[in-house]
Each structure stands twice: as C-alpha cells, then as structure tokens.
C-alpha cells in the first residue's frame, strides 16, 4: 500500500481460549519459550512499527504486564471477534486509522512476508481477508464463493452441509484488511443469533457485500504461517513447525546444526554463521551464539551470550549467562542468572555459578558452587570448593583475587575476601579474609595414633 501512515494493526487477543483449558490468556502460552503474542507482534513490527494495538480482555492485566510497550484496548466482555473490533474502533480512529489490518492473536506462525503480500493484494478492497486451503477445514470459518466471488464466511459450528453443500476446504485465516469507515458503518449491524451467541467479525463479509462494498477473499494457498492455535495439540504442532522453520533458516545462513530435527531454537536467538550446534538442544530467548562457538548435545541455553570459539560441552544448563571467547563449560555445568565467564575461563562438571564472575583464564573444573562471587583472573577453584553465600536470611559476597588457589573441598563463608596469589589449604572453612600471597589453613590437624585392636 502506498501510504501506510493511516494503516494500523489490531491484534485480537482478548478471548478466553477455552479450548486450551488453562487459566492464562491463550496468547501468553509459549512456543520455543516465548509467548504466542510475541511472534505476532514481531511479524507486524517491521510493517507497522508503533502503530500496533491489541485487544485485551480475559485476564487483561497479566497480558498487559507481559507486553509493557504495546498499546492495549480493553474488551471487558468477550462477546466475539466482531465485538472486539467494535470495542477497539473508536480508539483506532482517534489514532488516525483509515485502514485496519486485523489479525487474530493466536496465529504465532505468521510472517512479515505473509502480511506484506496480503496488504498488497488487499489494497483496493473495502473489506478483505486471507484464506487458506486445508485438507480438513476443522474448526475454521468456511469460505463460500459463487462464480469465484466470495459470498460469506460461515463459522464451523454454524455450517450446515444440507444448506451449504460439502465445504471446499477454503477457510478464513483470521487476517483482514478493513476500511475503517466501512467497519464503522457495518459493525452495528452484527447480530449474535448463531450457535456461539457471539458477534462474529466474519459476518462483516456478507454484510459488506449486501451494502455494495468491494469485498475480497484472498487465497493464500496452504500457507502454514496462517494456522491458528486453539488447543494444546495445535500449540505443539505450531511449535514443531516454528522449530523446523527456524532451524532450516539457520542452516541456510551458514550455522552448523547436527541432528537438526531435534533442535529447538527460538527465532529470537541469534546464531552466527559458523556456530556449531549439536541437537537435541533448546536455545531460547535473546541468546546469541558466536561464530566458532560449539554447543554439544543436551544443552539448554536461555538468554545467554556465547562468545567466539567457546565450547559448551554436553548437558549444560545456562540462563542469563555470559560466556566470553574461548571459554569451556561443562559437561554438566549449570550457569544461573548473572554468571559471567571471562575469556578462556573453565567451568567443568557439576559446577554451578550464580551472580558470579569467573575472571580471565580462571578455572573451576569440578563439583563447585560459586554464588555472589568475584573471582580474579587465573584463579583456580579446587574440586568441591564452595562459597557459603547465604546465612538463611541474607546473601553475602565472596571475592577471590587473581591467581589465588582454593584447595579442594574448602568452604568460603561469605562475606570473605581471598587475596591475590593466596593459597587456601584443602578442606578449610574460611571465615576470615586471607591476605594476598598468604597460605590459609583452617582445618583440624591430622593426628596418627596407634589403632585399637
């Protein structure tokens, strides 16, 4: 469309999602660890920027909290998709909308390309909608045509084959372009005398034709990007499709993915060409994986940054962690929020880091808990050493200087500082600061005695 400035997008997201049988708003259900609505907004954003509105209703507060930057319009009672549009229209017109792209919020597979191509084809119509053709029209609204021209959309529950004949398989995809003035004129004519007792947006098609408006049904083939999600099974199918699509695009871009069928990588993650990932894996959120980094199988990586040439060995769990260049993590390491490993650091098997920086080249290779700690460059944390950071009420910090050596099975009772170059004897319970380059021993001395027979 030539002038997009007066075209706004409206996402319908107020429905109860009864078929999900869950307590939360349907569009907050997650695929590849991001809410359904995030995908819809991300597909719309390049075209509509800040001209995106969403209708909230059922559990509106939790939805609005999850999308703080989005413009919400409340539909206090969920009386149907037509009613949702009617609730939103005054606010949209007040924002200068002459054309409204309406999209169901339960279409997480939708792409920017699909939206752009639909907008182009729909440009000249007063009312237009996208249709797809499915082998089984399931619960979708059925598109009726006469001599090629669409005549109406009949919802599945209201479809009487005796009256309408066998359905063609062409169904309404839930993507519309509406002239605001036409919508204003037609919405008051909607009635709810149907099986659901709802005001259907889809009835605008028949009403528009009766009013002599230009109405277009735009066939989009069997485009899976327009599939709706109404049940847990459809959510699982959509998630599979999304994972497959993302993996395919990454492979095409030059990322190396072994066993790709088992990769679950969010499209919001950034995987550089030359990153080497072995599935099964789950890589979610705003994670980034740099070129040359290697991720072994059975890893879960959430909102984490993996630097160049770093190795994440199998069975690691990382969340909100930063791994710099050439670090080695795992196998079997757990990096919790605030974990940071600077260049060349190692965290080996059964090592847990939380709000802890492991400095350049520092190593904690076995069986360690390091929380609320700052560990200097090239320090060595022995097997089984832990920071005792919590007294049952509050958390305290531990600092360990450069090149310090913490002997195996030591307990560092925070708050405590170990100086640079200090050595803590194995098995020590350290409750006082250790000066730089000192040897600290805090354990009972060994006594060898004759054995009683």
> Is the separation of the CB atoms in 185 and 211 below 8 Å?
yes
Which of the choices ligand UD1, Mg ion, none does residue 202 contact, using the CB cut-off of 5 to 8 A by kind?
ligand UD1
> Which of 198-206, 237-245, 364-372, 443-451 is the region at the interface with ligand UD1 (rule: CB under 6 A)?
198-206
Tell which positions 131-190 bind ligand UD1, by CB under 6 A. 139-141, 153, 155, 171-174
**214 to each of 151, 178, 391, how far by Cα in Å?**
11, 11, 72
Tokens encoding 139:
């619960």
What's CA 87's distance to the chain center, in Å? 29
Q: Minimum distance between the CB of residue 22 and ligand UD1, rounded to whole angstroms?
A: 13
> Which of 86-94, 105-113, 177-185, 426-434 is the region at the interface with Mg ion (rule: CB under 5 A)?
105-113
CB neighbourhood size of 241 (10 A): 16
Select from 41, 43, 60, 79 the one that contacts ligand UD1 (CB under 6 A): 79
Nearest residue to ligand UD1 on Cβ basis: 141
Nearest residue to Mg ion on Cβ basis: 228
Task: Between 9 and 414, name the residue whose CB sits nearer to ligand UD1.
Answer: 9
The CA distance from 210 to 240, in Å, is 41
CB proximity list for 330: less than 8 A, separation 6 or greater: 296, 299, 312, 313, 314, 315, 316, 347, 348, 349
Task: Between 55 and 329, name the residue whose CB sits nearer to ligand UD1.
Answer: 55
CB neighbourhood size of 217 (10 A): 23
Q: How many residues bind ligand UD1 (CB under 6 A)?
A: 31
Give the 3-state secondary structure of residue 47.
Answer: helix
For residue 406, give the nearest of 384, 431, 373 by alpha carbon. 384
Q: Does 12 bind ligand UD1 (CB under 6 A)?
A: yes
CB neighbourhood size of 83 (10 A): 22
Q: Does 29 bind ligand UD1 (CB under 6 A)?
A: no
Q: Minimum distance between the CB of residue 139 and ligand UD1, rounded to whole angstroms?
A: 6
> Is the separation of the CB atoms in 260 and 277 below 8 Å?
no
DSSP secondary structure letter of residue 395: B
Q: Minimum distance between the CB of residue 189 and ligand UD1, rounded to whole angstroms?
A: 15
Task: Between 60 and 416, name the residue whose CB sits nearer to ligand UD1.
Answer: 60
Q: Does 114 bind ligand UD1 (CB under 6 A)?
A: no
Select from 28, 101, 105, 307 the one that contacts ligand UD1 (CB under 6 A): 105
> Which of 10-18, 241-249, 290-298, 385-393 is the region at the interface with ligand UD1 (rule: CB under 6 A)?
10-18
Which of the choices ligand UD1, Mg ion, none does residue 78 contact, using the CB cut-off of 5 to 8 A by kind?
ligand UD1
> Is the separation of the CB atoms in 449 and 431 below 8 Å?
no
Select from 106, 126, 152, 309 the one that contacts Mg ion (CB under 5 A): 106
CB neighbourhood size of 197 (10 A): 9
The CA distance from 108 to 373, in Å, is 41
Q: Helices (DSSP H) in 196-271: which residue ranges?
A: 203-210, 232-253
The CA distance from 409 to 366, in Å, is 10
The Cα angle at residue 224 between residues 245 and 263, in degrees rounded to 5: 25
Select from 53, 200, 268, 298 the one that contacts ligand UD1 (CB under 6 A): 200
The CA distance from 227 to 216, in Å, is 20
For residue 307, give the nearest of 285, 278, 329 by alpha carbon. 329
Tell which positions 222-251 bind Mg ion, by CB under 5 A. 228, 230
Catalytic residues: 366
Q: Does 84 bind ligand UD1 (CB under 6 A)?
A: yes
* Contact characters 214-253, ligand UD1, x per CB under 6 A: --------------x-x-----------------------
Q: Does 105 bind Mg ion (CB under 5 A)?
A: no
> Which of 102-110, 143-151, 234-242, 318-326 is the region at the interface with Mg ion (rule: CB under 5 A)?
102-110
Q: Minimum distance between the CB of residue 215 and ligand UD1, rounded to whole angstroms?
A: 15
Q: Does 387 bind Mg ion (CB under 5 A)?
A: no
Contacts with ligand UD1, residue ranges (CB under 6 A):
12-15, 26, 55, 57, 75, 78-81, 83-84, 104-106, 139-141, 153, 155, 171-174, 200-202, 228, 230
> Where do contacts with Mg ion occur on this chain (CB under 5 A)?
106, 228, 230
């Amino acid at each position: 469309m030539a002038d997009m400035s007066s075209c706004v997008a409206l996402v319908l997201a107020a429905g109860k999602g009864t078929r999900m049988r869950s307590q939360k708003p349907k569009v907050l259900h997650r695929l590849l660890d991001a809410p359904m609505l995030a995908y819809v907004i991300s597909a719309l954003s390049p075209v509509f920027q800040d001209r995106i509105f969403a209708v909230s209703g059922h559990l509106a507060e939790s939805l609005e909290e999850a999308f703080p930057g989005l413009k919400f319009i409340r539909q206090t009672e969920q009386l149907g998709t037509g009613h949702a549009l009617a609730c939103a229209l005054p606010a949209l017109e007040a924002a200068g909308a002459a054309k409204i792209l309406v999209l169901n919020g339960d279409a997480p597979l939708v792409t920017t390309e699909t939206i752009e191509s639909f907008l182009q084809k729909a440009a000249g119509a007063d009312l237009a909608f996208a249709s797809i053709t499915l082998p089984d029209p399931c619960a979708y609204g059925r598109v009726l045509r006469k001599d090629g021209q669409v005549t109406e959309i009949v919802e599945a529950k209201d479809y009487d084959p005796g009256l309408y004949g066998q359905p063609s398989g062409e169904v309404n995809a839930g993507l519309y372009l509406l002239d605001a003035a036409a919508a204003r004129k037609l919405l008051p004519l909607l009635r709810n005398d149907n099986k659901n007792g709802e005001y259907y947006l889809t009835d605008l098609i028949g009403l528009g034709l009766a009013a002599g408006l230009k109405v277009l049904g735009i066939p989009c083939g069997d485009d899976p990007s327009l599939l709706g999600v109404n049940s847990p099974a459809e959510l699982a199918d959509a998630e599979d499709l999304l994972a497959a699509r993302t993996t395919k695009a990454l492979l095409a871009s030059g990322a190396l993915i072994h066993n790709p069928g088992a990769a679950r990588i969010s499209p919001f993650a950034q995987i550089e060409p030359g990153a080497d990932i072995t599935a099964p894996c789950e890589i979610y959120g705003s994670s980034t994986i740099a070129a040359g980094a290697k991720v072994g199988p059975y890893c879960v990586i959430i909102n984490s940054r993996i630097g160049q040439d770093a190795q994440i060995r199998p069975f690691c769990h990382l969340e909100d962690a930063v791994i710099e260049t050439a670090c080695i993590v795992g196998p079997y390491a757990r990096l919790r929020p605030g974990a940071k490993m600077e260049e060349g650091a190692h965290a080996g098997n059964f090592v847990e880091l939380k709000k802890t920086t492991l400095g350049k080249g520092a190593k904690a290779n076995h069986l360690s808990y390091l929380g609320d700690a700052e560990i200097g460059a090239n320090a060595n944390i022995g097997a089984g050493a832990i920071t005792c950071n919590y007294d049952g009420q509050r958390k305290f910090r531990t600092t360990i200087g450069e090149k310090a050596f913490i002997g195996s099975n030591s307990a560092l009772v925070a708050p405590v500082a170990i100086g640079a170059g200090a050595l803590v004897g194995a098995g020590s319970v350290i409750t006082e600061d250790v000066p730089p380059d000192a040897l600290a021993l805090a354990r009972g001395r060994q006594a060898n005695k004759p054995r009683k027979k």
